[in-house]
Structure 1
Amino acid sequence: MAGAGRPGPGSSSAAAATAAAVLVAAAGCWWGEGGSGGGGTSGPGELRVLAGSELADMEPLLERAAEETGVTVRMEYTGTLDGVEQVVGGRAEDRYDAVWFSSNRYLNLYPEGRGALRQETPVMASPVVLGVGEDKAGELGWEVADGAVTGVSWSGIAEAVDEGDLDYAMTGPAASNSGFSALVGVAAALADTGAALEPSDIDGVTGELRGFFAGQTLTAGSSGWLAEEYADRVRDPGGRPAPDAMINYESVLMSLEGDGIPGGLLPVHPTDGAVTADYPLSLLESASDGAAADYDALVEHLLSPEVQREIAADTRRRPMEPEALPEDARGAFPALPELPFPATAESADALIAAYYDRIRKPARTVYVLDVSSSMAGERIEGLRSAVHTLAGGDAGSIAGRFQRFYGRERVTVLPFSSSVHGPESFEVPEEEPDAMLASIRDHVDGLRPEGGTAGYDALADAYALLEEEDTEDVFTSVVLMTDGEINAGRTYDDFAADHAGLPDRLRAVPVFPVVFGESDPEEMEDLASLTGGRAFDAQGDDEASLDEAFREIRGYQ
């Protein structure tokens, strides 16, 4: 649902927008000088917006918008499915005036989601495509013209994967819209029905999808973090080689030029199309009349030619307005065909579930859990609650259905206090996992707090466990949860020295520390950086904060 009179990303304006994005990368200065422009003013106001995390790069433009329109935008960031859950469940209406996700397609599959929105206005666009380096494109025999790869279909990409010539990074579709859009696009292209996927279509394309996603070697819960990790690996592999390519927003691929990747990654514009994010700024039905007036002023400002030009320059996203571009850039690149999106929530959810349980490489996770005496009381209850959520305890929510332990996943619980306790491992079956998930819940319920905190000894044992296994074709990760200073056994420096001596395949296994209670945030950040992981904040020190952190980690496993 676009705003009245506004062309969508599949229209002719998107073709010009592509040219704008490419010219930004190539010339870097065509947008000129001067203020941001934009029409429409209103009295002093505040617009509270629930937004996707990738929109943080719009804040400088929104600060200038406040100066020119009098509308201050207060952004609060969330993941795609969590945001949808808040809107569908009615929890957004009292806290926010508007939502701003990369796409409303999934939200609009739910009647409650559609009904919660009064108005939607696409502000910019970016298709989700594959990005490769120019040398890799040459190796594959792909044609490069005007800063992009042309003449290649998703089937052609799949063929390169099947032949062992291409691997790539991609976000998880249950955590990030870029991953979800990629999954939908690839499935629709390979199914080649010309219509929106139905649940009955998924079985017929599962084999081809398995082959395609066998090439995914790096996952993440955020398109921005994925790009940062890719760039870090290119600059300094440190035992973690960068994949050949990355599936992400076209704008993110091009922005890598500023992250030390010469020329960025070349977008591959598939001949059979893509799924495009159109970033609709959406007014909630529950918003006040004053907020609606502020929304109108902000939208008018953002869609003005001057601001559209700046959006292209600053974010590498395609502007929605053709007049924002130099005349000779308009129409230089044809719009990508828009691949069909699932028509029902049932179809979308079935596709996501199939991806995790049957299609992509299985997950292998080791949970290194602090059960020292300081965890007694509410903290151990919070830990149990968080693991219960992952073990199917929140299957009734939209996000909870896809943040549980996946089919074919091997989960190890490795508790520690003054010493490391015995590990307990569980294999989650592809079909009928409930009994195994219940066993995980029962095991964690039996943990009893006592003693000190030998966290780095436990991490060393986790890597020793993984050393005995074949981790080549699985997504392997370690989660460390500790609520205090690690005061027994190995120190951080001891662990870092041990880690440097690990084989490359083990050094590539990330640790995701959870900053909780009195644990040292700086040390946990250092640990994440050392191993290629990410630290997650649960400093609320309660059940909800731990639960949220453990759920967020699932996007990276």
Structure 2
Amino acid sequence: MKLNAGAGLLLPLLLAACTPKDVPTLTLMGGSELTDLKPILDDVAKTAGVKLAIQYTGTLDGTEQLLSGAKPDLVWFASARYLQLQPGMQGRVVSSEKIMLSPVLLGVKTSDAKKWGWVGKPPSWKEIAARAASGELNYGMANPAASNSGLSALIGVAAAISGKGDAITAADVTSGELKGFFRGQALTAGSSGWLSDAYVQDQARLNGLINYESVLLSMNAGGKLQEPLTLIYPADGLITADYPLLLLNRERQPEYQKLVDALKSPAIQQRIMDETRRRPVNTAVKLSSQFPSSLNIELPYPGSASAINAILSAFLQDTRRPASTIFVLDTSGSMGGDRMDGLKTALLGLSGADTTLTGQFSGFAARERVTIIPFSSGVEVPRTTDIGTAAQKAAALASLRGQIDALDANGGTNIYGALEAAYRAAQLQADSGRYTSIVLMTDGERNQGPSPEQFRQFFAGLPAAAKSVKTFTILFGDGNKQEMNDIATLTGGRSFDGTRDLQAAFKQIRGYQ
């Protein structure tokens, strides 16, 4: 049967009318803590009739991106307090809705919690600090300059110990009691998720972990702990992450509201509680028995971004356990030209040239010890620079910049010979009271020196203190991804991708040092 001309013209219009409308896509900048919500978010997006394009990032990194002009439709961090205090964010948040809750707590091995009388009778932060200062409590905590859980813990402990509430200053962070508290920190990280995994690996030498309540409960239920953690809700209070979903794009208000309604519906709130162990904000959902029925005392938060920045700076420069950082740097022939320029830019950024928000808190700190081991066919003698006090810092950084400028590319790639040299250097510092870590940056595969198997044998023969030193690897240029992952896994570290932005990779690693 022949269609007449009119029908032929109408057919495409009819087909177009029957085609479903495109589903709108919303861009979401989300905290790295939200990755466990993906199955729930997939279902919520379908219910709301949208697609979510999610970029995961750390709180400080995300804040810097937003202040530098990033314009996602939505922002969702564990806490928006620091972000919304930034002068550059005034007036940009159109709507904000709390979605779920999780306080930042201390988990302690149950045998120790019983021994210290903390079961059924929560201690104060001062009592916790005393256990840490005495060497009895050795714990892991995320870096406050990289992770919200670490920042919340630092502010909460400082507020509780000082008794000054939201008026705390940098001076309160340098108190003797707070320094005693951080003497017990034996593990750090740039994210709360990696921190929990690292605790599992290091649980033989650690007996405490500061993290979100949801993470600690999940660890107890995960079957990987030799001994369960007793969750400590300090008597003088804590700080709770309330996960506010922020709308920045006013034109997306209808879609935002649909997402909020779906996320706060009883069914989804129940799933959030059951699957991620975060507390619901919808009071129609009954709190499960895994959470204590008593109310938590909420500690105050500083009222300005400048106060928090000063607190972070004081912590990094004066309060935290000083770091010893060993950089193992590929200077083989393939690193010539732009690659060497990129390496120098990244290291010079850590030496004071990077004045961005993240640059300020990732740079080398007072009291830090920095060792550089360049390698190509051979391995150069390690050169160590002690940054010293705040007054000595400028001169020390100038000396370090001179070493960086002198790096030159030639020769082959002796990766494992250089790593062995790094662990020998780390072994000499094992009893110095420093937090020691190694960074390996290479743009190629090993073609000279010890083999991977020979290095594994070398590593297996190290004393326990040296074995606890983690290596963080950076994939760059033509580097072998599997090789970098294997080194990070063997040593308990983590691998970072620097192929797109080497400077960003070096800054990210600083959260783990």
Question: TM-score under structure 2 normalisation?
Answer: 0.92
Which letter maps to 1:186? V
What does residue 97 of structure 2 align with? 121
Residue 324 (structure 2) aligned to one of 359, 364, 369: 364
Deviations 1:394-416 (A, max 9, x none): 12x21111100111011011101
Distance 1:330 1:255, change over 3 A: closer
Structure 1 contact 197–343 (Cα < 8 Å) conserved: no
Please, which of 248, 251, 268 is the counterpart of residue 211 of structure 2? 248
Query: Does residue 433 of structure 2 align to residue 473 of structure 1?
Result: yes
Tell me how far 1:520 sits from its aligned partner.
1.1
Contact 2:430 2:466 (C-alpha < 8 Å) held by counterparts: no
By relative contact order (CA 8 Å, sep 6+), the higher-ranking structure is: 1
Between stretches 418-427 and 365-374, larger displacement belongs to 418-427
- Equivalent AA in structure 2 for residue 245 of structure 1: G
Q: Given the superposition, is the C-alpha separation of residues 70 and 424 from structure 1 closer, same or farther in structure 2, using an over 3 Å criterion?
A: same
Q: Are residues 298 and 84 of structure 1, via their aligned partners in 2, closer, same or farther at CA, if it must alter by over 3 Å?
A: same
5+ residue gaps, structure 1: 1-41, 145-149, 235-240
Give the secondary structure class of the aligned counterpart of 2:91: helix
Query: Aligned equivalents of 1:421 and 1:444: distance in 2?
Result: 14
Q: Contact 1:322/1:330 (CA < 8 Å) preserved in 2? A: no
Looking at structure 2, the residues matched to 218 and 509 of structure 1 have their Cα atoms a distance apart, in angstroms, of 10
Shift of 1:244: 0.3
Aligned partner (choices 267, 273, 279) of residue 318 of structure 1? 279
1:43, distance to aligned residue in structure 2 (A)? 8.2
Residue 373 of structure 2, aligned match among 406, 414, 429: 414
Q: Deviation per CA, 1:173-194, whole angstroms, max 9, x where unpaired?
A: 0011100100000000000123
Instruction: Tell me which amino acid in the other structure corresponds to 1:400.
Output: G
Alignment of 1:235-314 (within 5 A): 241-256=204-219, 257-261=221-225, 264-284=228-248, 287-289=249-251, 291-314=252-275
**Contact 2:369/2:387 (CA < 8 Å) preserved in 1?**
yes
The change in CA–CA distance for 1:441 and 1:331 in structure 2 (over 3 A counts) is closer
Greater displacement, 65-74 / 480-489: 65-74
Cα distance per residue 1:310-336 (max 9 Å; x no partner): 10011111110111116x969962221
Letter in 2 for 1:337: I
**Which letter maps to 1:56?**
T
3-state secondary structure, aligned to 2:366: coil
Name the SS of the counterpart of 1:388 in structure 2. helix
User: Aligned partners of 1:378, 1:437: CA distance in 2, in Å?
Assistant: 24
Could you say which residue in structure 1 is the equivalent of 2:415? Answer: 455
Q: Count the aligned residue pairs.
A: 491
* 2:48 pairs with 1:69: yes
TM-score by length of 1: 0.85
CA distance in 1, matches of 2:386, 2:255: 53
Give deviations 1:175-229, integer Å, cap 9, x for gaps: 11100100000000000123431345445xx211100110101111110001011
Deviations 1:49-99 (A, max 9, x none): 01111101111011111222211111101111111111223x221xx1011
State whether structure 2 residue 359 is matched by structure 1 residue 400: yes
The structure whose Rg is larger is 2
Query: What is the RMSD of the two structures over their aligned residues, measured on CA atoms?
Result: 1.8
Distance 1:297 1:514, change over 3 A: same
Give the partner amino acid of 2:143.
Answer: G
Deviation at 1:266, TM superposition (A): 2.4
Q: Which amino acid aligns with 1:178?
A: S
Cα distance in 2 for partners of 1:346, 1:367 equals 32
1:28 equivalent in structure 2: none
Work out the CA distance in 1 between the residues paired with 2:241 and 2:401: 38
Gaps of at least 5 residues in structure 2 are 1-20
Give runs of aligned pairs for residues 43-58 of structure 1, distance below 5 A. 44-58=23-37
3-state SS of 1:325 partner: coil
Contact residue 266 and residue 284 of structure 2 kept, 8 A? yes
Partners of 1:179 and 1:471 in 2: how far apart?
25
| Partner SS state of residue 444, structure 2 | coil
Cα distance between partner residues in 2 of 1:108 and 1:69: 26
- The answer to whether 1:554 aligns with 2:513 is no
Residues 84 and 188 (structure 1 numbering): CA distance in 2 closer, same or farther, change over 3 Å? same
Read off the aligned partner of 2:239 and give its amino acid letter: V
CA–CA distance in structure 2, aligned partners of residues 539 and 259 of structure 1? 36
The answer to whether residue 193 in structure 2 is matched with residue 193 in structure 1 is: no
CA spacing shift, 1:154–1:553, aligned 2, 3 Å: same
Structure 1 pair 402–330 and aligned structure 2 pair: CA distance change class (3 A): closer
Deviation at 1:297, TM superposition (A): 0.4
Rounded to whole Å, the distance in 1 between the matches of 2:226 and 2:431 is 32
Question: Among residues 213, 217, 220, which one is paired with 2:186 in the alignment?
Answer: 217
State the partner residue of 1:425.
Answer: 384
Report if the CA contact (8 A) 2:75-2:247 is conserved: yes
Tell me the equivalent position of 2:456: 496
